[in-house]
C-alpha cells in the first residue's frame, strides 16, 4: 500500500515509499511485508476518519484516537497500527470484519455495530449548520415538548460531583430529589466543535438518546 505521490512510473529501481503511511520497521530494514501493508492500511483508516495527522518518523510511537469514529472502527484501526507486526490482523481478518459490518448495516437491523455507526454519524460536527444563529430558548423548549421529553429544574439535582468530560460535554453524578436516586447529568460544551450552537447540539443529542432508549439491549435513560 502506498500513497498518491508515487503512483507514476519510477525512474529508479530503488524501493520507494512515503513516510506518512510507512510502517515503523520499514525505516530500519526496508523489507516490505504483509505486516507493513497492514500498518499502512491502518493509517489509511485513520486518514478516512480524521483530517490531519503529523508525519511519522523513525521510532515514532503512535497513540491514535479518532474522535467521533465508531468504537469498533477505532479498535480495528489500532490493531493494524500495532508496533509489533505479529500482533496486527491479517488481510483475511480485516476483510471478514469489514464484510461483517457491511452486511449488518445493509440488513438495517439495530445491532450494536449498526448503532455505533449511527451514533458516529449523528455526532459528526459537520452535520451541524455552519451558517445562521443558534435556535432561541423558546424554540429549544418547543422542540423538547414536541419530542415528548419532560423538563426538570436543575435545582432538583443535589450532591453534584464531577466525573469527567469528552469532546462535546462534561458529565456529573447527582442525586435526583424526586426519586432519591443518583443519576448522570451531561452538559453540552459550547465550543467550536459544535460551531457554538449548543441548543442545536443539545437537540441533536437528545434525539439520539430517545432512539437508544427504545433499544432493549440498552439501559433506559431519564433523559
Indicate the annotated binding residues for ATP: 186
Contact 67, 50 (CB under 8 A): yes
Q: Which residues does the annotation place in the binding site?
A: 186
Look at the alpha carbons of 146, 147, 148, 154 in this order and tell me if their dihedral is positive or negative.
Answer: negative
Angle at 42 between CA 212 and CA 68, to 5 degrees: 30
Amino acid at each position: 500500500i502506498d500513497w498518491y505521490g508515487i503512483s507514476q512510473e519510477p525512474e529508479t529501481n530503488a524501493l520507494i515509499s512515503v513516510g506518512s503511511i510507512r510502517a515503523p520497521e520499514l525505516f530500519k530494514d526496508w523489507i516490505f511485508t504483509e505486516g507493513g501493508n497492514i500498518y499502512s492500511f491502518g493509517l489509511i483508516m485513520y486518514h478516512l476518519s480524521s483530517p490531519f495527522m503529523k508525519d511519522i518518523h523513525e521510532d515514532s510511537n503512535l497513540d491514535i484516537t479518532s474522535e467521533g469514529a465508531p468504537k469498533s472502527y477505532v479498535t480495528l484501526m489500532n490493531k493494524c497500527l500495532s508496533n509489533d507486526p505479529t500482533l496486527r490482523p491479517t488481510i483475511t481478518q480485516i476483510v471478514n470484519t469489514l464484510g461483517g459490518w457491511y452486511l449488518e448495516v445493509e440488513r438495517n437491523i439495530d445491532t450494536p455495530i449498526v448503532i455505533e455507526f449511527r451514533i458516529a454519524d449523528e455526532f459528526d460536527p459537520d452535520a451541524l449548520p455552519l451558517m445562521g444563529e443558534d435556535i432561541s430558548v423558546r424554540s429549544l423548549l418547543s422542540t423538547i415538548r414536541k419530542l415528548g421529553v419532560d423538563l426538570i429544574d436543575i435545582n432538583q439535582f443535589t450532591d453534584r460531583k464531577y466525573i469527567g468530560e469528552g469532546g462535546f460535554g462534561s458529565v456529573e453524578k447527582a442525586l435526583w430529589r424526586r426519586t432519591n436516586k443518583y443519576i448522570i447529568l451531561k452538559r453540552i460544551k459550547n465550543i467550536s466543535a459544535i460551531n457554538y450552537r449548543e441548543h442545536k447540539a443539545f437537540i441533536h443529542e437528545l434525539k439520539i438518546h430517545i432512539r437508544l432508549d427504545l433499544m432493549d439491549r440498552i439501559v433506559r435513560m431519564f433523559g
